[in-house]
Every structure is written in structure tokens, then in C-alpha cells.
A and B are shown apart, each in its own frame.
Chain A
Amino acid sequence: MASAPRSSGIKHASTAFAPWEDPDAKPLIQFKNVTKKFGDFTAIDDLTIDIYQREFFALLGPSGCGKTTLMRMLAGFENPTRGQILLGGQDIVAVPPNKRPVNMMFQSYALFPHLSVWDNIAFGLRRDKLDQDKIEERVAEMLRLTRLEQFAKRKPHQISGGQRQRVALARSLAKAPKLLLLDEPLGALDKKLRNETQFELMDIQEKTGTTFVIVTHDQEEAMTVASRVAVMDHGKMIQVDTPAGIYEAPNSVYVADFIGDVNIVEGNATVQGDRVHISFAEGADPIITAFDQPISDGQRVSYAIRPEKISVDREPLADRANHVRGKIEDIGYLGDVSTYHVRLPSGGLISALMTNSRRLARRDFTWDDEVWLSWTDTAGVLLTK
């Protein structure tokens, strides 16, 4: 892997890859009202989703929400209790795992302990009855990609956890499948190697046109690699959207809270023209916000605002619609940015994130300072769920 810095994220935006917005696009994978039960327990609950060719689809959610089960149904190890799974328009429920153009990287790696790293990677290619030199070429390529060349002769138990994870990745990539399922593929790698592998995956995907479905609990990873992110809970998809969409326009408190840091304020809504006023505390000015869903007066709503959208100043900023006064209770200094935890007179605590454009000694605020928080009426989102 080259270690030259590369930019990410921008790619998807610049190529405007968005087949899910195209009504004529044919999805590669379709889940149609899929339910999976284990006994009485519902692991996947009436789930419907389309995933398109060349997508990098990330599944995000707490442990036990059904991510692995979803992958296993795609790979063919579990059958849905109800519903249909289509791959390229064909119902694949009856197709056994070895007949599906799908490869999976297991969360537990599932490396064959009696075979060397080389033979592990070659295993799938041998099943396709490829020529020996074709196999050797492909394995060498995979070893280079995952930087495992000098471990080719070792057995899986003779290499470290991170190396094992890379073997598992190489083995699943080797057959260049139509659809690649990665179950927490990079969890055991250190941060640097993880970043490089993420870019490598995106590169592979660009070169081969493989569709990736990736499970991760690292939201930063999901944001970096994914064309779309699905946030799951209890076997349901709560929101499926682009990383930016999930981050900027969460559809529920659950999603807002799950991705990144967020301030959630609860209050009662009053509609005033094209703005909603949320009164959240006695004596405090209401929060003014734009909205895009029907709201009735007096409705109980939540308001979500990201810390970096709030400005901390000595005086209220005149061009912002929302201002509250508070006292700095804590400052989290992270080098490039600082998080200010500001206590409001109503008792609530708001976090605001400011870039440290000045040196530490000349910083404006310190503990117990009285400050004003300001933000615009389009910076936050109004949530009713």
C-alpha cells in the first residue's frame, strides 16, 4: 500500500454517484419485507432495502441489532423466515452459499488453521479450478495488497491478530466477487493501518466495481468509506442515507445520538410562519429553527444541534437567530479544537466546538467565564421521533 496521503470522502461527492436517486437504476440487492426469527426472537424485522452495484454500503448499529444476521442471509448461511432476497433480480433464498457470487469476510476471520497464509488465500481460487500460474499470480497480488508477502508460509496461529485480519480480507477479496461482505473487517488494526486499508478498499472497489456491504461500529470508518450508511436498531433500519445526510439530517434522536456528538434539547413547539419556536425552559428565549415536517402547536419535540455549529463569544452574534447565555463549566482541549461545556441558567448543559486558531496562551475564554452561544436557525434539526 502506498503511504502517500490521499483525500477521501470528496470522491463520492465529486463523481455524484447516487443510483438510489435514479428511478431507473436496477438494484443489485433487494431485501423485500425480510423477517428473520430465531425461535421467538426477531433478529431482522420486516426489512426492505435496495443496495446498488458499486455501492459501499455501511451497516452501523449497536451490538446485537442484527448486522451479522443480515450479512449471513446475503451469504446464504441463514434463510429469512419471511420475505425475499433478490440478487440482480433473482431470488437467491434457495441458492446455497457455494453457488452465490458473494464472498464474506467473517468477524472471527475463520482462517483455516491447517493451511498456510498462502493456501488460505488460494483456497477459493482452487475451487474455481483456475490454472496454477493464474492462482499464483492472484495470490501474490493479494499478498502485496495486504502487505503479507513475508508471512506467506506461516500458519494463521503464527501471526498476530492484525495480520490474521488482513489474511481474512485477502482471502475474501481473492475471488473478486460481485458482492463482498465485510463483517467488522478492520477492528483489529491500529489506526494508521486501518486508514490505509480503508483507502485500499475504496481503491479496490473503484477498480473492480465490486459492491461492498460493510459492518462497522466505527462511525468514522463508515463516514470515510461509505456511499450510504444504514443505522440499525433491533432488526430495523432506522435511517439509510449518505454519510452527510445521516450526519446533517438525522431522522430521529436515535440516529442523531448514534452518529457523532450532539446536543439534544426537548421542548414545546409553536409554529410561526416558516419557523418553529421551541420553548425549552422557563424564562429562556425559545430556540428558533427551520423545519421540514408537519408540526402542530404545543407538540413535544426534540431539537438536535451539533457542537461545531455553535459559536462561543463574549457577546451574542447579531447575524445568528439563536442566542443563549451561560457559564463555561469545562473545556476539553484537543489540540486543533476545544470543546466548551456551557451551563445554561435553566440548568441544561450545551457543548460547543471551536477551532483553536490562536495559541493557547492567547485564548479568549477560561473556566467560569460568562459567554454567549449563538447559532443560526438552520444549523440544527427538529426531530419528532
Chain B
Amino acid sequence: MKRFSWFNATSLTLGFVFLYMPMIILVIYSFNASKLVTVWAGFSTKWYVELFHNEDFLAAAVVTLKVAVVSSTFATVLGTMAAYVLVRQGRFHGRTLFSGMIYAPLVMPEVITGLSLLLLFIGIGLDRGIVTIILAHTTFAMCYVSVVVSSRLTTFDHSLEEAALDLGCSPFEAFRLVTLPIIAPAIISGWLLAFTLSLDDLVIASFTSGPSATTLPIKIFSAVRLGVSPEINALSTIMIGIVTVGVVSASLITKRAAVKRARDEQSAERS
């Protein structure tokens, strides 16, 4: 282990304080007994209890989870397919255009994505509600999935699929029996990424949600405009927890596979 110099230790602390101070304060105040946000009156979990009796918030939470699960699943299927074609098909006509177009929504301002989706839904006469949010989230999350999966596919040895074909697989069987199991960790982390993106999206959801369905971020945002309540703090803490678990497990899945592999390979060389 290298020891930190005084300067490095200070920079690190400052950086992390800057990053995480606001969230830490929020988490602490969610356990505040007082109704007043700025006054500490001892530890209590009553806001969590209250939160679970708030029908409004619970309904929004259910919508949010439904949207996140369904849209991230669609996004994973579509994103994987797009990545597969872009990496595998080699040079076909318009490949650069397609891969550019897949990645464009990543840098597109969310307001514009939201607005254009809204116009589309109005145009085709689709009532805004849970379906439109799912469609919208699928659209923007599939780009992220496609980035994650295609970076795995570029290092995937094409001859594995050829070997499968050679041994009698149809192209679809080769994909199902060989490619899919091998790139599964990337697909799972793509799904988790899409899931968390959907959970915490506010901008696109507010363009595409309707009176019949609102998501938690929208609920929180509108509630906060009437004043911050400890209940909101509690809700936000739960969301921070879920998102953290999602992101951390996504990166752990990828990393553990790589570490295990490296270790096994070393022991194979020794034996």
C-alpha cells in the first residue's frame, strides 16, 4: 500500500466532501424527529413510517418501479440487438451513420428528447400515462445498454460463434448457446444501468407522464416546491439506497467476472 501524502489526502477529502456532503445531510435529516427541516430534535424513523402510509407516494412508487422494470427490460433487448448488429455485421452500408445515431441520444439534452417524444405521442394520439413513460424510458436507456454491451462484444472472439456453427448450430442457436451466456454479465449490468436511469429520471418523465400516472421523482419535485418535508428526505434516502445498490452491483458483476478469470488463468498456468 502506498501512503497518501498530506496534499493528496486533503484533496481527496475535499473532493469527496464536496460530492457527498449534500446527500449525507439529506440522509441524516431523514432521521430527524422534528418536523422542521433545519432543526435537529433527535433520532427517529417516524417519517419512514409515515411515508409508507402515504397513498400518493406509494402509488407513484409502484408506477416508478413498473416503468423501471419494463422499460429497462425492453431497452436491454433492443440495445443488445443494436449492439450486436453494429459490432458483428462488419462494414455494411451506412454503419457509421447508424452507430452515430445510436449514440446521439446520449449527448442530446434531455429536454429535447422529452419534448420530441411528447410531440410524437400527441401526434399519434397516444394518451399520456404509464405506457408513454415506458416508451420514452426505453428509447433513451437503450443507448446506454447498447454502449455497455457493444464494448463487451468488441472484445468477444468471433471464432467462438464460428466454432458453434461448425459444430452444427444454426446462427440463432450459436447466439443463444454461446454468445449470450458469455456476454450475460454485460447485459445484466446494462439492465441495471437502464433500471437506475429510469428510476431517477425527472425531465423526460415529466414531459411524457399524464394525470393518470406520475413517477416518484415528479412527485418529489412538485412536493418540494411546497416546501421540503422530512418525509421527502426519507423517500430520497430510500431512492439513494436503491440506486446505489443498482450501480454498485452492476460494476461488481463486471469486475468480479474479470478478477475470477484472471485468478483462474494464473492457477492454470501454474499447474
Contact = CB atoms under 8 A, between A and B. Distances in A.
Nearest to A155: B264
Contacts of A76: 165-166
B269 to A, nearest CB: 7
Contact of B170 (A98, A106, A124): A98
Interface in A97-132: 97-98, 102-104, 106, 108, 110-114, 123-124, 127-128
Interface string A131-156: 00000000000000000000000010
A158 B264 contact: yes
B271 A97 contact: no
Nearest to B261: A157
Contacts of B261: 157
B163 interface: yes
Nearest to A108: B159
Interface string B138-154: 00000000000000000
B268 A159 contact: yes
A7 B218 CA distance: 82
A96 B165 CA distance: 8
A158 B261 CA distance: 9
Given A98-B169, A124-B168, A127-B168, A112 B269 contact: no
Interface in B165-202: 165-170, 173, 177-178, 181-182
Contact of B168 (A75, A77, A175): A175
Contacts of A113: 160, 182
B271 to A, nearest CB: 7
Interface in A138-190: 155, 157-160, 171-172, 175
Contacts of A96: 165
B139 to A, nearest CB: 32
Given A127-B167, A127-B173, A158-B268, A106 B182 contact: no
Contacts of B173: 127
Contacts of B264: 155, 157-158
Interface in B221-271: 261, 264-265, 267-269, 271
A110 B162 contact: yes
B169 A103 contact: no
Contacts of B55: none
Contacts of A103: 166-167
Given A155-B264, A157-B261, A158-B267, A98 B162 contact: no
Interface string A70-103: 0000011100000000000000000011100011
Contacts of B162: 75, 77, 97, 106, 110
B163 A127 contact: no
A155 B168 CA distance: 22
Nearest to B167: A124
B182 A123 contact: no
Contact of B166 (A104, A108, A160): A104
B168 A98 contact: yes
Nearest to B168: A127
Nearest to A112: B178
B131 interface: no
Contacts of B159: 106, 108, 110
B143 to A, nearest CB: 27
Given A108-B157, A114-B181, A127-B173, A171 B167 contact: yes
Interface string A331-344: 00000000000000
A102 B162 CA distance: 13
A97 B165 contact: yes
Given A155-B264, A160-B271, A110 B160 contact: yes
Contacts of A157: 261, 264-265, 268
B164 interface: yes
Contacts of B268: 157-160
B44 to A, nearest CB: 50
Contacts of A106: 159, 162-163
A102 B167 CA distance: 9
B181 A123 contact: no
Contact of B165 (A98, A128, A172): A98
B167 A123 contact: yes
A123 B168 CA distance: 9
A180 to B, nearest CB: 11
Contacts of B267: 158
A132 to B, nearest CB: 17
A97 B167 CA distance: 8
Q: Which of A103, A123, A157, A175 has the most CB of B within 10 A?
A: A157
Given A160-B268, A160-B269, A112 B169 contact: no
Contacts of A123: 164, 167, 177
Nearest to B270: A160
B13 to A, nearest CB: 40
A98 B175 CA distance: 13
Contacts of B265: 157-158
A335 B12 CA distance: 68
A112 B168 contact: no
B166 A97 contact: yes
Q: Which of A75, A102, A112 has the most CB of B within 10 A?
A: A112
28 contacts: A75-B162, A76-B165, A77-B165, A96-B165, A97-B166, A98-B168, A98-B170, A102-B166, A103-B166, A103-B167, A106-B162, A106-B163, A110-B157, A110-B160, A110-B162, A110-B163, A111-B163, A113-B182, A114-B178, A114-B182, A124-B167, A124-B168, A127-B169, A157-B264, A158-B265, A158-B267, A159-B268, A175-B167
Given A75-B166, A106-B162, 5 more contacts: A77-B162, A106-B163, A157-B264, A157-B265, A160-B269
Interface of B: 157, 159-160, 162-170, 173, 177-178, 181-182, 261, 264-265, 267-269, 271
